[in-house]
Structure 1
Amino acid sequence: MQRKSHIDTFGAVALVVFALHLGFNQVVIKVTNGGFAPVFAAGLRSLGAVAVLLLWMRLRGIGFQVPRRAMLPGLISGGLFALEFMCLFSALDLTTVSRASVILYSMPVWLAIASAVLIPGEALTPVRAVGLLLAMGGVALALLGRVDVGAGLLGDLLALVAALCWAGIALCVKITPLSEVPPAQQLMFQVLISAPLLLLASLFFGDFIRDVQPIHVAGMLFQIVLVASLGFLAWFWLMSIYPASSVASFSFLSPVFAVILGWAVLGEDVGFRVWGALGLVAAGIYLINRRPRVAAVRI
């Protein structure tokens, strides 16, 4: 498909559907945790994604050759990927989809702050600074608005660590030779390295299996095929067609859909504070992504 200078009708519909897909994924993870222990489930997902990606790359004639200078950044991104999903799957086991999604999708905030410090020419504009303040206010409202300070708060904090790891991966791609590696190989680095790390870590988190039912198996297959492998490749396909800043501007829809689906599908109690935090984070993400920048997505 030819490169385009703006988002057309097809692109807009595809990006809205993709954002809905990501929001629904948070619900699927929480449901899947009912059958599989969270860290073990994250490891299974990465392991399954390795198989799907190998098959897809073989069918497309894509090799796994990468520049030697990209190996270390690739290993680092794989380690961050493992930590991100260990935290995210555990967070969704402890807190609600709505709260975890609002906090997770604050990632552009931490990426923008790190980029402003580490990358020349990435200084904060007034608009982006306002976006940062709005989104950080949303995260603070979500964290400080929690009444209980037990497992739920731990889940919120784990979601924040996941967001920081996601930002770390995106920053790694921006400032290291990993940026020279095609998307399929970048993803293979992440799932190939994270699979053994997560499965090994799962040994320290109790039983692997809880009460596996067909819905949990279906949820795991959904994540492996439609999210962790083909979904991520679809995102990069859209990135290859449309401007990065325009694609990134749709990212604020993912936490919106996640909160709505958490309420509609799981019956979560979404209070005023969560809606307020969601509004602040979504507005902040939109403002941060208004100018051209490297966009990243974690699904």
Structure 2
Amino acid sequence: MTTRQHLDANAICIMLLLCVCWGLQQVAVKLATPVISATLQLGLRSGIAAMLVLALIRWKQIPFSLRDRHVLPGLLAGLFFALEFLCVSYGLTLTTASHMSVFLYTAPIFTVIGLHTTIPGERLRAWQWMGVLAAFVGIAIAFSGAMALPTGALQSMLMGDGLGVLAALLWSATTLTIRFSSLSEAEPTTTLFYQLAGAAVLLTGIVLWRGEPWAAWDHITWISMFFQSVIVAFASYLAWFWLMRRYLVSRLSVFSFLTPLFGVAAGMILMHDAISPRFAIGAIMVLGGIVLVNAKK
């Protein structure tokens, strides 16, 4: 099995860029929901990105077959990935994009625990576990103001937040499936195709079954779909799987705690969300936790 590296400057820069893109993702979906449902958005973007991946496979002549050893883990990873975004699509109708970003990106906690207990090279030391805890507590502090909502609104938001946590568990299950199967040594394009195809089939199938209307798109919808399909679902996921094949997954996963912060920043700029002192305190704790987790001693 290939030995994974600790994060270097290149990996950190790529992860920062990915976190910015992923932080914008939930806001992009929310901006287009008045015209097109979140489920349809996520299904379409997965289908478009899957076709782009197939085109890349053919262009670069990357070996790919639906009869090789990657099929079964690929189908399982695709199912987990599809269910994750089904939870996200429904959750976004009940909670805010900022909340979904926060709870979705608790996935690194579950991933780290799974890797820590099974792979010696992925184990975290005491101060790194303190970093995980600090980052998680920081996120909780940053968004604890939601408890001041009225009962009705709070119940709806908690249900949406719960779907966000379930999506995080499914994301972690996807990551662990890839790490513990032949997909860990597969081409990133192979792994990504299985996940995107699974999401495209399940989500668009649900939309067609419900008979959702395909409304006329405005310019915001077109921009949002281009960003979600080409930038996020195609380019950023390819970069993520490339990183997973070369670097310690636990370090990469915990680094993604930055994503909710970028998501909230995008909400402030694009949706005029207000920032609170609690968020500033939480942000400092998250950044401090990431430094601890990536420390080499």
**Please, what TM-score do these two structures have when normalized by structure 2?**
0.82
Per-residue Cα deviation, 1:215-267 (whole angstroms, up to 9, x for no partner): 11221122111111122223445667877777667534322221111111111
Which stretch of the first structure deviates more once superposed, 154-163 or 182-191?
A: 154-163
Q: 1:154 to 1:278 in 2, by over 3 A?
A: farther
Which stretch of the first structure deviates more once superposed, 77-86 or 94-103?
A: 94-103
Per-residue Cα deviation, 1:56-103 (whole angstroms, up to 9, x for no partner): 111111232377443222111101101111122333333223222222
SS of the residue aligned with 1:112? helix
Q: What one-letter code is carried by the residue in structure 1 that aligns with 2:231?
A: L
Q: CA deviation at 1:211?
A: 6.3
Match of 1:217 in 2: 222
Q: CA deviation at 1:117?
A: 3.4
Q: CA deviation at 1:124?
A: 4.2
Q: What one-letter code is carried by the residue in structure 1 that aligns with 2:147?
A: R
How much identity, in percent, do the aligned residues show? Answer: 33
Distance across 1 between alignment mates of 2:251 and 2:65: 31
Distance across 2 between alignment mates of 1:249 and 1:156: 20
Match of 2:101 in 1: 101
Paired residues, number: 289
Contact 1:81 1:166 in 2 (8 A): yes
Contact 1:252 1:286 in 2 (8 A): no
Q: Unaligned regions of 5+ residues in structure 2, if any?
A: none
Q: CA RMSD of the aligned region, Å?
A: 3.3
Match of 1:296 in 2: none
Match of 2:133 in 1: 133
Distance across 2 between alignment mates of 1:133 and 1:212: 43
Aligned mate of 2:197, from 175, 192, 195: 192
SS of the residue aligned with 2:147? coil
Match of 1:146 in 2: 147
Aligned mate of 2:275, from 267, 270, 274: 270
Q: 1:55 to 1:11 in 2, by over 3 A?
A: same
Distance across 1 between alignment mates of 2:77 and 2:183: 9
Q: What one-letter code is carried by the residue in structure 1 that aligns with 2:42?
A: A
Match of 2:212 in 1: 207
